[in-house]
Amino acid sequence: SSAPATANSAVAATATVITNIANLVTNDPSLGDSSPLGLIQDAAVVIDGDRIAWVGESSKAPATDNRVDAAGRAVIPGFVDSHSHLVFAGDRTAEFSARMSGQPYAAGGIRTTVAATRAATDEALEANVVRYLREALHQGTTVFETKSGYGLTVEDEARALRIAARHTDETTFLGAHVVSPDYADDPAGYVELVTGPMLDACAPHARWIDVFCERGAFDGDQARAILTAGRARGLHPRVHANQLSHGPGVQLAVELDAASADHCTHLTDADVDALAHSRTVATLLPGAEFSTRAEWPDARRLLDAGATVALSTDCNPGSSFTSAMPFCVALAVRDMGMTPDEALWSATAGGARALRRTDVGRLTPGARADLALLDAPSHVHLAYRPGVPLVSAVWQRGERVR
Ligand code: NIG
Ligand code: FE
């Protein structure tokens, strides 16, 4: 197939061209092979400033001063990790070991991290964010969302978001992670705090609002009150839904036109149907099921029903301490019924959809120049060669960052 391209003359001499790409994933079906991945073989990409200027067949690539030879390897859009919890201190190694010897996962472990996070300095928290962000970047993640939720006081939630906002535009207020231990006897009082002074302090630093809607955390009515209050302050909803059990989270997410319902491990047919007929993305987080030894979410069922699926890490010290999107892709293929093509799409374009972004998650002229060069001839190797560090170069906003 012949890939359309912008006029060669529009490309500046100072641009960078990556040539000899065996397989280029564009995520634009109008390019390449017309599959959802919009694959182009023997391809080239031109990066001009922070944008993609041109994609097409390598033989037709415009000449520029800077040339990178992909030497028969694959290029994919940078991963869009639309769900992480990076503002925390401490770790929960003992809890993980206990789980692996048979203890169940319980949301109560969140309070261990809350205590460590409250006790940490701003510098320590920020150093942690930077550490995991770099770790993710090295594995090809060029956009990431991150949440508060380990402070649970007005001050601690606001500082988590202030710190996060220095490193990403995709910040989420999750004051409603669990009821703060300070309000153990007054959950209604905690909901008032979250929807009142805490929201006031956090809204300026957040784009999104999230609630952990689960037994032991917040019920459907509490979650609705919190998300609605956030929406009134200009924050758009996303929901931790149906992770540990069946519940109202997914239906509530769809009712409120949330950008995504995250986890989606325990779904009824009605939940699947609601997602399939909505703009709400089902964001699956296989690292959580891996690290809690829980039942896998059924991606196949969601895809067959017509729902949009995203894959993310959920990186946090309790339920999923991984920053590796390639690992999540491999798990989704091996254990959740996804094909390698579907998993790659969900980890890039799907994540962008879950953040309601059109400038990332695809490699087409005008998109942000976020891409990863794999040490493999195709993206399929991410699942075919699990655990092997295949991401060999990464560009973010046109800059080579690894
Ligand atoms: O997405 N489900 C709630 N929150 C996190 C877990 C947080 C923790 O255990 O510290 C999650 O899995
Ligand atoms: Fe989470």
Residue 141 has pLDDT above 80, yes or no: yes
Query: Nearest C-alpha to atom 12 of ligand 1 is from which residue?
Result: 319
Taking the C-alpha atoms of residue 160 and residue 86, their distance in angstroms, rounded to an integer, is 9
How high does pLDDT run on average in the chain?
96
What one-letter code names the amino acid at 262? D
More confident residue, 3 or 283: 283
What residues flank ligand 1, with Cβ below 6 Å? Answer: 107, 109-110, 113, 212, 240, 243, 288, 314, 316, 318-320
pLDDT given for residue 246 in this prediction = 97
Provide the residues around ligand 2 (an ion) whose CB is within 5 A. Answer: 314
> How many CA atoms lie less than 13 Å away from 137 in the CB half-sphere?
17
Instruction: List domains and CATH numbers for the chain.
Output: 8-78+361-400 (2.30.40.10), 80-354 (3.20.20.140)
Query: Nearest C-alpha to atom 9 of ligand 1 is from which residue?
Result: 318
pLDDT given for residue 1 in this prediction = 38
Q: Which atom of ligand 1 is nearest to the CA of 83?
A: 1
Query: CB neighbours of 341 closer than 8 A, spacing ≥ 6?
Result: 35, 36, 37, 379, 380
- 314 is annotated as contributing to ligand binding: yes
pTM: 0.97
Taking the C-alpha atoms of residue 266 and residue 3, their distance in angstroms, rounded to an integer, is 42
The rounded Å distance from CA 388 to ligand 1 centre is 27
Average pLDDT over residues 3-22: 76
pLDDT given for residue 69 in this prediction = 97
| 12 pLDDT tier (thresholds 50, 70, 90) | confident
Best residue for ligand 1 mutational test, from 319, 321, 328 (most atoms within 8 Å of Cβ) = 319
Average pLDDT over residues 169-197: 98
pLDDT given for residue 3 in this prediction = 45
ipTM for this prediction:
0.96
- 318 is annotated as contributing to ligand binding: yes
Write out pLDDT tens, residues 147-159: 999 999 999 999 9
In SS3 terms, 128-188 reads as HHHHHHHHHHHCCEEEECEECCCCCCHHHHHHHHHHHHCCCCCEEEEEECCCCHHHCCCHH
Write out pLDDT tens, residues 197-256: 999 999 999 999 999 999 999 999 999 999 999 999 999 999 999 999 999 999 999 999
pLDDT given for residue 6 in this prediction = 47
Taking the C-alpha atoms of residue 327 and residue 249, their distance in angstroms, rounded to an integer, is 27
Query: Nearest C-alpha to atom 6 of ligand 1 is from which residue?
Result: 319
Taking the C-alpha atoms of residue 252 and residue 179, their distance in angstroms, rounded to an integer, is 19
Average pLDDT over residues 60-84: 96
Residue 4 has pLDDT above 80, yes or no: no
